A and B are shown apart, each in its own frame.
Chain A
Amino acid sequence: DTGVSQDPRHKITKRGQNVTFRCDPISEHNRLYWYRQTLGQGPEFLTYFQNEAQLEKSRLLSDRFSAERPKGSFSTLEIQRTEQGDSAMYLCASGSLNTEAFFGQGTRLTVV
C-alpha cells in the first residue's frame, strides 16, 4: 500500500453531465475526507466518513453532490448535472485517530 489513490487523475466533462470519482484510502485508516481545491486557494472541506458512516457534510456540498463509502473501504464522490463552477481539484485524504491526514494526488475536474 503506497498511499491514498484517486481515480481518475483528470476528467473533462460537458456541463450537465454526471461524473464520479473514486478514492482508495490507506488500508488501515478508518477516517476518510473529501476536499475541494480551486486554483490559488487552500483545500476546502467537503465531507467526512468514519468507517462507512458519513458524519459531516459541508454546506459547500450541494444536493448535486453525493459521497459514499460502502463497507468502510473505498469512497466515491458523484457530481450530478455538473456546472462550470464545479471545475476544481477534488482531493481525498485518509487518516485515523492517531495519525494525520494523508492526501491523494487529487482528481482535476474541468467542466466545459
Chain B
Amino acid sequence: QQQVKQSPQSLIVQKGGISIINCAYENTAFDYFPWYQQFPGKGPALLIAIRPDVSEKKEGRFTISFNKSAKQFSLHIMDSQPGDSATYFCAASPSYKLIFGSGTRLLVRP
C-alpha cells in the first residue's frame, strides 16, 4: 500500500518530442504528488507537484496529469531538450514523508 510504481524504467526521445512518464499508487491517503529531477551526483530537485483536487497542472514545458479514480498520475515533458536528460522520480506523500517511485532515466537525443 505504500508503494509507488513508475514506468518506464528508461526512455529515449528525440529533441522536440514529448516525454511521458507514468506512476500509479494504491494508498488513498496520499494527498501530494511531486515529480523530482535528478542529475548524476546531485540530489533530487522538485520539478512540479500536484494535489488531488485538480486533474492537471502545467508549468512551462512540464505538465502533470492526475487521475484520482484510477490512482495514476503522469509527467509530460513537451518539446524535450537534451538538457532534460536526467532521471525523473515520481513521489507521493500522505503527510510529511515522500514515497518515491523507482525512477525513469530519460535520454533526449539531439
Instruction: Tell me the bound Cα distance from A31 to B95 in angstroms.
Output: 12
Instruction: Tell me the bound Cα distance from A42 to B44 in angstroms.
Output: 10
Instruction: Tell me the bound Cα distance from A106 to B42 in angstroms.
Output: 7
- A85 close to chain B: CB less than 8 A: no
Instruction: Tell me the bound Cα distance from A11 to B91 in angstroms.
Output: 28
Binds B, one of A14-22, A61-69, A76-84, A96-104: A96-104
A105 touching B97 by the CB < 8 A rule?
Answer: no
B:30-81 near A, CB below 8 Å: 34, 36, 41-46, 49
Of the residues B43, B96, B100, contact of A42 by C-beta under 8 Å: B100
* Contacts A42-B89, A42-B103 given; does A106 touch B43 at CB 8 Å: yes
- B7 close to chain A: CB less than 8 A: no
B101 partner residues in chain A, CB cutoff 8 A: 42
A41 touching B34 by the CB < 8 A rule?
Answer: no
Of the residues B41, B43, B102, contact of A91 by C-beta under 8 Å: B43
B97 touching A40 by the CB < 8 A rule?
Answer: no
A40 partner residues in chain B, CB cutoff 8 A: 102-103
| B-binding residues in A (CB < 8 A) | 4, 31, 33, 35, 40-45, 48, 50, 56, 91, 93, 95, 100-106
| A-binding residues in B (CB < 8 A) | 6, 34, 36, 41-46, 49, 89, 91, 96-103
> What are 19 A-B residue pairs whose CB atoms fall within 8 Å in the complex?
A4-B43, A35-B98, A40-B103, A42-B91, A42-B100, A42-B101, A42-B102, A43-B44, A43-B89, A45-B97, A95-B96, A100-B49, A101-B46, A101-B98, A102-B46, A103-B43, A103-B44, A103-B45, A105-B43
